[in-house]
Structure 1
Amino acid sequence: MLSVLFVSLWLNNNTQAQQRNVTWTSQSKNSSESMPVGGGDIGINVWVENGEIYLYLSRSGTFDENNTLLKLGRVKLKLSPNPFEGKTFKQELILKDGYVQITGINGKLNAQVNVWIDVFKPIVNLEVKSNNNIIAEASYESWRFEDRVTIGKENNQNSYKWAPQGIVKTSKDEIAFNGNKIEFSHQNNAETVFDVVVKQQGLESYKSTMFNPLKNLSFGGVMQGENMVAAGNYTGQYLSTPYKGWTIRSAKPSTSNQIAILLKSSRDNNSIENQKYNATKSFAANKTWWNNYWKKSFIYINSSDSLANQVGKNYQLFRYMLGANAKGDWPTKFNGGLFTFDPQLTDTSFKFTPDFRNWGGGTHTAQNQRLVYWPMLKSGDFEMMKPQFDFYLNILKNAEIRTEAAWGHKGGSFTEQIENFGLPNPTEYGWKRPADFNKGMEYNAWLEYEWDTVLEFCMMILETERYNGENIQKYIPLIESSLTFFREHYTYLAKQRGAKTLDANGHLVLYPSSAAETYKMAYNASSTIAGLKTVLQRLTEIKSASEEQKQNWKAMLNTIPPISFREFNGKPTISPAKLWERLNNTESPQLYPVFPWGIYGAGKLGLDTAINTYQLDSDVLKFRSHIGWKQDNIFAARLGLTDEAARLTTLKLKDSGRRFPAFWGPGYDWTPDHNWGGSGMIGLQEMLMQCDGTKILLFPAWPKTWDVHFKLYAPYQTTVEGTLKNGKIESLKVIPESRRTDIINMLK
């Protein structure tokens, strides 16, 4: 009984220490020193500057006519007399309950402001309490009060990127007082980048039947406060961006002020604007949702190594940021999610508006996006994966149309750098492409023949069935179409070269192919082969599939060529392909059979060959890094290389160097860098637990000096919760209990 009590106390203390709040006792210099607050599909940046509270408003799916992911404006809250002009100040992210609390004392005046987002309704709340009567003044500020032409690098925020066609402009919003409310909205123009891209890619005859998420899209919101009245306009400039402000103010001084910002979109299913809103009850329900979110899954590290503790803390903080889009219709973007801030605070040369993010808003870069979503399997956040899966399902028809139009065969072709309507990004497709160039291809040295990133999302879909028993029937056409493309396209290409469609061994000839963006004009890229083999094998295991379907998948599986190998120092290693012409990037796709595909790894056949690849391949060694989307930490964890996995994961998940510890970046992309955080999460999970069929490997790459309390998900609706202290398991809870016999302690 004593030992059980000791463990329980240690867990409680550890939880309290490691899931600690982020607390600041001084105000921020600018928006780069903001805190994230999220809920539902809304994310806001909150900071206090010169005694005033600021909020940047973001929501999933706010794509304008150029496919920029627009912010919904900035809110400023000023209190008079001002409690934040005194000597005592605190801003705290209450992680467990999912909100920010700001307190200030100025002489005898003290006040508290709670900033939170309703998880169940698209409402941002500011709740002000004070011991003396004060006036609250809330302003809505917008830099889109007039049309704004975007030039040069600023177009990297939209789908035109560095090659705009003529004048590109961000259209103005409609902003006005309506009684005591401030209303703001953006209505997309009749012609959007969708129309431009369809014309560019020769698909106008199909246009009326194609999925178009930008058409007639409008979004905005309403800001109002209890007993507040309209109080006029003003102008100003924040950093390099001019803006105009609309203000509402308390009708009379009070000790309690409530301000709500309802965000709206034409895509919303229903309107809640006229419904009675009880902020107190909603706040309580909101806290309950976040409490349950943290109970679902966690990793708390308690170590004498302060950097290891940072890893545990920042794992939780990044998962919090991902939770901001738990109920969104669109995936969380890899290049900042819902929490970007003024771009010149990331790159001083980018003196653009807060709408800017590098690598676009509606453009989908799958190599990056996958790292945001893979960790959600082991964290049990299956419902949060649905927007990413639906992204592909929604654009499937368009992807199939372009395949048929370009090559006359079946299957959905999903390129890298794909728009949210399923066609290649127009700049990557090429505005100055040769007239006779294959119209299905991107005219781009990095992206040509890179089709296989969709396979990782197909695999994630399949894994939600294996992990959580999800019904994935609606996604089977997507998976089948993605596979059909490979069979049909490489048969089509073979017919262009000669009379035979298969090689001497009855295998498809995957040429030209591409091993990630790195090994170009490849013959039988190993990353593609590993993806096709793994997805097809997993499909054959689905219980709901018909026997005919399984036979078709098995038949295709038999046509997939084997992975190729090469030698370094006389030892066998996985080759990135059988042959290739050139290198264009710095990925290591020869290790993709380790992650994400899991063909090689701890406890599996061929582990020595995979380790040789990691340790000896000259390209792998040259490309190794922890920055951005690099996944060497994941490879090391999967291979059971404990010291290396710990070193690289620590570099990934240590404090970002910005005021908020999990605002990593820009890396290769932008700040906050969500594929940086996602790859860090995956690496830490894989250090703790790996799954191979029914086997659950615990601590396959975990340092014995890192005490940990964790709860993670495993296949077959299994959760594993355990504590490790001084290198020994002190408690282990497996649900269902029958799965305990599948646990293998790799520390023994």
Structure 2
Amino acid sequence: MGFLKNSYLPTLCLLAINLVSGAVVYAQSDPHGLTQASPDLSAYNVIWNEPGSGSADSMPIGNGDVGLNVWTEKNGDLVFYIGKTDAWSENPLGSNGLMKIGRVRVSMSPPWDANSLPFQQVLRLQDASIAIREGDTTLKIWVDANRPVIHVEEQGAHPIALRASLEPWYGETDHVSAMHLAPHTTSTIAWYHRNEAGAVDAVRNLTTGALMEGSGMKAVSDTQLVSTEPSLHQSLSIHTLTETTEKAEGWLAAMDSLKREDDRTAVADAFLAHSQWWSAFWNRSWIVLGGAQDADTVTRGYILQRFVTAAAGRGAYPIKFNGSLFVVDHASETDNPKTHPSHEVSANYRAWGGQYWFQNTRPMYWPRLAAGDFDEMLPLFRMYQREMEQNAPLIESYYGHPGSYLAETAAFYAPIPDLRTKPSGRHTDYYFTPILELSMMMLDYFEYTGDEQFAKKTLIPMASEGLLFFDQHFPRDAAGKLELNNDNSIETFWQVSDPLPDIAGLHAVLARLLALPNGLGSVEQRAQWERLYAALPDLPTGQIDGKKVLLPYTGKQDAPRKNIENPELYAVFPFRLYGVGRPDLRIAEDTFEARKMRFRGCWSQDPVEAAMLGRSDDARKSVSFNLQNVDPRMKFPGFWDRGHDYDPDEDNGGNGELGLQAMLLQNNGREILLLPAWPKDWDARFKLAAPFRTTVEGEVHHGKLVHLTVTPASRRKDVLVNGDKFK
């Protein structure tokens, strides 16, 4: 790839720039006010004693919106890719829809001598930084948790000269327009990508880029900074910005105004506040296992998945399941090995592209509840609320009735299709379940946080519109019951009758909405909920081997299976009509035993379903697999195998997180169920969030709870351990 030099652009007179990115919120107080110290994380730091050879040998760090892949090459050069949650290319749907915004190389002179000087690279989880020691020189890399700035700090026993270079990071095969270089100033270089001709309307004029400057450094070209003289201590700062502007000059002007605010904070002060943010983050919750042979690696997998999610989870858009911000270069890759030959791909590529599949996006977000990471859920809710509002007038236009729903598969801006033009739908065309599952998640968010403004402005408007769609879109039978005809049972059975996921979702969501405190939901809304609730059909059931089981849809079970899912188990999760402490557990257990699709990793729900049913052995096997399922092509032990998605696969890690949490703690209304699916050979120390602004801290030894602290103490009476009150 070449760079486009913008000689017509005004010279930049900048030192440092903040990031602007839609609804990004950097500062976030701890919602529980937790004060107890978290466990020592140093045992789970990732330590490498040899440099790597490319981005597949990288470590991730990030601040929730800006994420880096960081590695050190054989010659001692530090290299990193920069990713950003809103760095959309001209075609967000494409395999290069969410691209990197830079590749930076930092070289030292004199260079590291691999033959005589020691090397170590450490991901320090406690403060989310990477420390690289080459001989007696140390580099520290971190992305400010409270500001949109990447910092590289050098400290040495002898004077060192640095060279920081912007390198090409995509080419013609990436199918995006060239990067623009702004003319360098005395001490800064800047670059950006701009969506212009050929871009879809939603991202036209979107401009994303960065500015790099350093203390004691000067620009020698539009792509390089060098030390003015060798020094014992130097620092480099890179600042990124995404903004939609009519012209490129508008983006440059925005950078100029933003840097003034950023300049007010010294690097040392910024790192102190950054470290405090991460300390509070780790103090929200934890799970540390002991006892069995796999305990340490499962613990590490859980901690690293939570870290990777936090590194990309507070941006303008939700986390991409197919690689998050941390996709890497691969020498051989293909979208589909049956139809596409393998080819080399860059770190801008991801199989399954830039659009969102709700089924694949949810696994990273359900675990945020018990982890207490509520701030990371807001980008998901914001994006889907915009889509619900966008889709409502389309539904009125297409079908002549009110209501709204979410397309299971869509870009963040894409409208729902007019199904009148697609009477024989394919894949996710007639898949209406996401608004029901999202409503369930939002109801949980409200129960955990008690945020009434969220309930009034987000939960109730979205859930009500979704329920109104089901109420108005589907007919009633002769008995007045809702008939869900021509409706997918998720992506597995297309256009069937009374699919279990939707019926279970309607039962679960309506019951919980009707139980909300007075004042949440208007009189008219509650009346509509009650009418719809009374019209719901029963869940489809049948017999398999003489046992009553749940079925994926009503009627003869002869619809072709189109995917490898178990829709009948949506009654267990996410809709939780069956499970430990709930009626008819045997029916759900027999359904689980009879399930057709059995596989581990990726988006399989086996970990949480087994845990919800109290099946400790099954849950433990699935969770242990997921949280050790490292991609063999990658060095970092929290980059998961691609499975059916792409690497690093965030579905795999999210489902492992959720399963482990559910083995320790579940809730049934106000009841807190501890150890509902806990194996006796795993010891544990844990601190998790529970509904009604509750935290539960405990210790498990040989399968028994030996310590318990519940905050507030009044909630201790609601705790059940293996079905009994804790004494």
Partner of 1:413: 405
Q: CA deviation at 1:687?
A: 0.4
The answer to whether residue 84 in structure 2 is matched with residue 59 in structure 1 is yes
User: Structure 1: how far apart are the matches of 2:200 and 2:591?
Assistant: 43
The answer to whether residue 233 in structure 2 is matched with residue 256 in structure 1 is yes
Mark the CA change 1:696 to 1:630 in structure 2 (over 3 Å): closer, same or farther. Answer: same
In the alignment, is the contact (CA less than 8 A) between 1:93 and 1:101 conserved in 2?
A: yes
User: Structure 2: how far apart are the matches of 1:655 and 1:666?
Assistant: 9
From 343, 353, 360, give the equivalent of 1:360: 353
TM alignment of 1:213-252, pairs within 5 A: 214-232=203-221, 246-252=223-229
Partner of 1:8: none
| AA in 2 matched with 1:99 | S
The DSSP-based 3-state class of the residue aligned with 2:687 is strand
The DSSP-based 3-state class of the residue aligned with 1:71 is strand
Per-residue displacement from partner, 1:157-184 (whole Å, max 9, x unpaired)?
xxxxxxxxxxxx4111211442131111
Q: CA deviation at 1:396?
A: 2.1
The answer to whether residue 512 in structure 2 is matched with residue 538 in structure 1 is yes
Q: CA deviation at 1:272?
A: 2.7
The answer to whether residue 3 in structure 2 is matched with residue 16 in structure 1 is no
User: Structure 1: how far apart are the matches of 2:641 and 2:406?
Assistant: 27
Q: CA deviation at 1:406?
A: 2.2
From 493, 511, 536, give the equivalent of 2:485: 511
| AA in 2 matched with 1:551 | A
| AA in 1 matched with 2:469 | F
The answer to whether residue 342 in structure 2 is matched with residue 349 in structure 1 is yes
The DSSP-based 3-state class of the residue aligned with 1:480 is helix
User: Structure 2: how far apart are the matches of 1:439 and 1:178?
Assistant: 55
Partner of 2:585: 607
Per-residue displacement from partner, 1:499-526 (whole Å, max 9, x unpaired)?
xxx1133211101111111122211001
Partner of 2:457: 474
In the alignment, is the contact (CA less than 8 A) between 2:629 and 2:641 conserved in 1?
A: no
In the alignment, is the contact (CA less than 8 A) between 2:464 and 2:525 conserved in 1?
A: no
Partner of 2:163: 137
User: Structure 2: how far apart are the matches of 1:608 and 1:78?
Assistant: 63
The DSSP-based 3-state class of the residue aligned with 1:121 is coil
Partner of 1:205: none
**TM-score (ref. length: structure 2):** 0.87
Q: CA deviation at 1:463?
A: 1.3
The DSSP-based 3-state class of the residue aligned with 1:266 is strand
User: Structure 2: how far apart are the matches of 1:662 and 1:524?
Assistant: 40
TM alignment of 1:493-572, pairs within 5 A: 502-543=476-517, 544-572=520-548
The alignment of Structure 1 onto Structure 2 pairs a total of residues equal to 656
The answer to whether residue 434 in structure 2 is matched with residue 453 in structure 1 is yes
Q: CA deviation at 1:445?
A: 2.4
Q: CA deviation at 1:48?
A: 0.6
User: Structure 1: how far apart are the matches of 2:420 and 2:77?
Assistant: 54
More moved, 260-269 vs 719-728: 260-269
User: Structure 2: how far apart are the matches of 1:442 and 1:358?
Assistant: 29
**TM-score (ref. length: structure 1):** 0.84
From 276, 285, 289, give the equivalent of 2:277: 289
Partner of 1:484: 468
In the alignment, is the contact (CA less than 8 A) between 1:34 and 1:46 conserved in 2?
A: yes
Q: CA deviation at 1:29?
A: 2.5
The answer to whether residue 299 in structure 2 is matched with residue 325 in structure 1 is no
User: Structure 2: how far apart are the matches of 1:736 and 1:61?
Assistant: 39
Partner of 1:174: 180
Q: CA deviation at 1:729?
A: 2.0
From 360, 367, 377, give the equivalent of 1:375: 367
Mark the CA change 1:414 to 1:442 in structure 2 (over 3 Å): closer, same or farther. Answer: farther
| AA in 2 matched with 1:421 | Y
The DSSP-based 3-state class of the residue aligned with 2:99 is coil
Partner of 1:83: 112
In the alignment, is the contact (CA less than 8 A) between 1:38 and 1:44 conserved in 2?
A: yes
In the alignment, is the contact (CA less than 8 A) between 1:403 and 1:440 conserved in 2?
A: no
Q: What are the ranges of 5 or more consecutive residues in structure 2 without an aligned counterpart?
A: 1-35, 245-250, 335-340
Partner of 2:303: 316
In the alignment, is the contact (CA less than 8 A) between 2:85 and 2:315 conserved in 1?
A: yes
User: Structure 2: how far apart are the matches of 1:553 and 1:438?
Assistant: 26
The DSSP-based 3-state class of the residue aligned with 1:323 is helix
Q: CA deviation at 1:653?
A: 0.8
Partner of 2:23: none
The DSSP-based 3-state class of the residue aligned with 1:623 is coil
In the alignment, is the contact (CA less than 8 A) between 2:474 and 2:484 conserved in 1?
A: yes
The DSSP-based 3-state class of the residue aligned with 1:396 is helix
User: Structure 1: how far apart are the matches of 2:353 and 2:564?
Assistant: 21
The DSSP-based 3-state class of the residue aligned with 1:637 is helix
In the alignment, is the contact (CA less than 8 A) between 2:65 and 2:315 conserved in 1?
A: yes
Partner of 1:25: 49
User: Structure 2: how far apart are the matches of 1:664 and 1:40?
Assistant: 19
The DSSP-based 3-state class of the residue aligned with 1:252 is coil
Q: CA deviation at 1:355?
A: 0.9
The DSSP-based 3-state class of the residue aligned with 2:641 is coil
In the alignment, is the contact (CA less than 8 A) between 1:188 and 1:215 conserved in 2?
A: yes
| AA in 2 matched with 1:541 | A
Partner of 2:128: 98
In the alignment, is the contact (CA less than 8 A) between 1:18 and 1:301 conserved in 2?
A: no
State percent identity of aligned pairs.
33
Partner of 2:28: none
Per-residue displacement from partner, 1:216-272 (whole Å, max 9, x unpaired)?
211111011112122347xxxxxxxxxxxx221101111111000000111699853
Q: CA deviation at 1:287?
A: 0.7
User: Structure 1: how far apart are the matches of 2:533 and 2:635?
Assistant: 50
Q: CA deviation at 1:439?
A: 4.6
The DSSP-based 3-state class of the residue aligned with 1:294 is helix
The DSSP-based 3-state class of the residue aligned with 1:60 is strand
The DSSP-based 3-state class of the residue aligned with 1:186 is strand
Partner of 1:162: none
The DSSP-based 3-state class of the residue aligned with 1:65 is coil
Partner of 1:124: 150
Per-residue displacement from partner, 1:649-699 (whole Å, max 9, x unpaired)?
111111514321110021111111111111111100110011000111100
In the alignment, is the contact (CA less than 8 A) between 2:694 and 2:710 conserved in 1?
A: yes
Q: What are the ranges of 5 or more consecutive residues in structure 1 without an aligned counterpart?
A: 1-10, 151-168, 195-211, 234-245, 430-436, 492-501
| AA in 1 matched with 2:160 | I
The DSSP-based 3-state class of the residue aligned with 2:303 is helix
Q: CA deviation at 1:370?
A: 1.0
The DSSP-based 3-state class of the residue aligned with 1:661 is coil
User: Structure 2: how far apart are the matches of 1:443 and 1:321?
Assistant: 40
User: Structure 2: how far apart are the matches of 1:388 and 1:323?
Assistant: 14
User: Structure 2: how far apart are the matches of 1:706 and 1:685?
Assistant: 13
In the alignment, is the contact (CA less than 8 A) between 1:19 and 1:96 conserved in 2?
A: no
| AA in 2 matched with 1:377 | L
Mark the CA change 1:228 to 1:256 in structure 2 (over 3 Å): closer, same or farther. Answer: same
The answer to whether residue 617 in structure 2 is matched with residue 640 in structure 1 is no
Mark the CA change 1:366 to 1:403 in structure 2 (over 3 Å): closer, same or farther. Answer: same
User: Structure 2: how far apart are the matches of 1:717 and 1:28?
Assistant: 45
| AA in 2 matched with 1:78 | S
In the alignment, is the contact (CA less than 8 A) between 1:398 and 1:422 conserved in 2?
A: no
User: Structure 2: how far apart are the matches of 1:87 and 1:645?
Assistant: 46
The answer to whether residue 16 in structure 2 is matched with residue 42 in structure 1 is no
Per-residue displacement from partner, 1:573-610 (whole Å, max 9, x unpaired)?
11111036221001001001001111000111010000
| AA in 2 matched with 1:352 | V
User: Structure 2: how far apart are the matches of 1:266 and 1:192?
Assistant: 15
From 686, 707, 713, give the equivalent of 2:662: 686
From 719, 722, 725, give the equivalent of 1:746: 722
Q: CA deviation at 1:125?
A: 0.6
Mark the CA change 1:408 to 1:228 in structure 2 (over 3 Å): closer, same or farther. Answer: same
